[in-house]
Amino acid sequence: MYSIVLPVYNEKDNLKILIPEIFGIINFVKVEVIIIDDDSDDGTEIFVNTELSKYEHLVYVNRKNENRSLGISVGEGINISKFDNIILMDCDLSHGLEDVVNLIKLHQNKNYDLICCSRFLDKRPNGFFLRYHLSKIYNYILKPFLSLPVLDNLSGFFLVKKKLLNDLKFDKIFYGYGDYYFRLLYYLNKKKISIIEMGFVWKDRKYGKSKTKFMKIFYNYTLEAIKLRIKTLYEK
């Protein structure tokens, strides 16, 4: 059984496509879908509560009047999930459902504790050329800097056994933007669990605008990586 966590902000048009596809395609296992809305202003709440209300295993939470944060949204989604395995994916259709199916089947066959989806293991074209290569260079620097276990430390597309998260301090990991992911990888790797990477092809979003401001994001990520690195020195 799998809980699929979808953090969203102004993604109504993508949810129109994604939610029916999830329940239509991933019908070989029991899943729940958890939408954590960072107080969208595009009518997401009304749309979900009317057009998507027919889906019994769909949970919707709107973080109204709270500080917008991808990391906090992810943590809240994990906290309220019911099933033993968590899948985290983007809702902008950049993470394909064929890859979610492969992710689940790999987990069923091999029972890995953590499966990380990597943009850098698939040789096919992978999104916008410049963005892909800049991200690849940054990830290749980040991996040895923090002794991380995988090549793609920023995809935010993964499957993890929920029990492995129970003793983690969520407020120390799930904040900020996509940097929550390399903090999570760092602390999970200390547990000496079974980890594998699975290749996937990142796709450009179909609707809406990206919330990623690259220069600002890389600056913030670098600061967070340095802070985590300093912390690791004191932990030894």
Provide the whole-model pTM: 0.92
Mean pLDDT of 97-119: 96
| Distances, alpha carbon 159 to alpha carbons 67, 103, 109, 128, 165, in Å | 26, 7, 14, 25, 12
pLDDT tier for residue 232 given thresholds of 50, 70 and 90: confident
Six token digits for residue 9 = 């902000």
- The more confident residue out of 76 and 212 is 76
pLDDT confidence of residue 28: 95
- Going by C-alpha positions, the residue among 127, 130, 153, 131 that lies closest to residue 142 is 153
pLDDT tier for residue 208 given thresholds of 50, 70 and 90: low
Mean pLDDT of 77-105: 95
- Going by C-alpha positions, the residue among 129, 124, 121 that lies closest to residue 155 is 121
DSSP annotation of 98 = H
| Total domains, the chain | 1
Cα 178 from Cα 180, distance rounded (Å)? 5
Six token digits for residue 159 = 């499957």
pLDDT confidence of residue 87: 98
Produce one character per residue of 29-56: b if its CB has 16 or more CB atoms within 10 Å, e if not.
eebbbbbbbbebeeebbebbeeebeebe
- The more confident residue out of 220 and 131 is 220
CATH of the domain at 44: 3.90.550.10
pLDDT over threshold 70, residue 86: yes
pLDDT over threshold 90, residue 53: yes
Structural domain harbouring 22? 2-235
